[in-house]
Amino acid sequence: MTRAKAIAGAIGLSVVAGALPAVAGQQVYTYTVVHPTYGEIGTFTDTIDRSAETTRIDSHLRVAVKLLGVTAYREESDASEIMNGNRLVSLESVTNKDGRHLEVHGSAQGDKFMVNCTLGSFAAPGTIAPSDPWVVKHTGDDMVVSTSTGKIVHVQVTGGDYDLISMNGASVSARHFVINGDKRQEVWLDNRDIPIMFRTFEDGTPIDFVMQNATAGASTTTVAALRRPTTPHSENVEK
């Protein structure tokens, strides 16, 4: 089961903040979580709701790894972020990581962002960004607050050049950013600054989040479905 543990903390992406994509109204984006050994192990959903002054991001992660029909690892997480312009004003999250319970409660107070979480209490500059692929836009050094643990992390973002990735058999150009902090992550943004894929490395294992579709109200539009090599289903993998 040790190899299954490598997916822990998969959504803790570190970023340098920028303006969110200017898409009006509520948008729902669904990603498939892909492990290189266990195949598709769950889903990650982002709901982004924009008003005149604020943007709210609600995220839901549901992951389970099964070995021979037995659940070897499970992780569930729900997080809500509220941005006022480019400033993070509120962060709330609850994570159950294979039996370990984590909570994060953060709010802007004056020129600081105060965090109370399971791991302790932290004070950060008011300019701090959440660890969310939706707010990566440019390179540089910065600090972020982990949406899953509440920890304050120094990060360096490099890249930003256009890369070709395979999408439904066609090559699609996307900007590729690499984030190094307490771990390595990568984000691919399309020409609307929407993350069509992001990746985190857990104990050296790459966990991919691949966008499958996006919805606006009752209308559904397929935004991205990246082709991946065939991977075994988790139920068929031996310990």
Condensed to tens digits (0 to 9), the pLDDT of residues 137-195 reads: 789 998 999 999 999 999 999 999 999 987 556 688 899 999 999 889 999 999 889 99
Q: How far apart are CA 162 and CA 157, in angstroms?
A: 15
- Tell me the pTM: 0.81
Domains of the chain, residue spans: 3-228
Q: Does domain 3-228 have CATH number 2.40.160?
A: no
The dihedral sign for the CA sequence 87, 152, 210, 235: negative
Nearest to 208 by CA among 1, 6, 3: 6
Residue listed under structure tokens 């920028």: 18
Q: Tell me the Cα Rg of the chain.
A: 17
Mean pLDDT along residues 1-5: 48
**Mean pLDDT confidence for 26-52:** 94
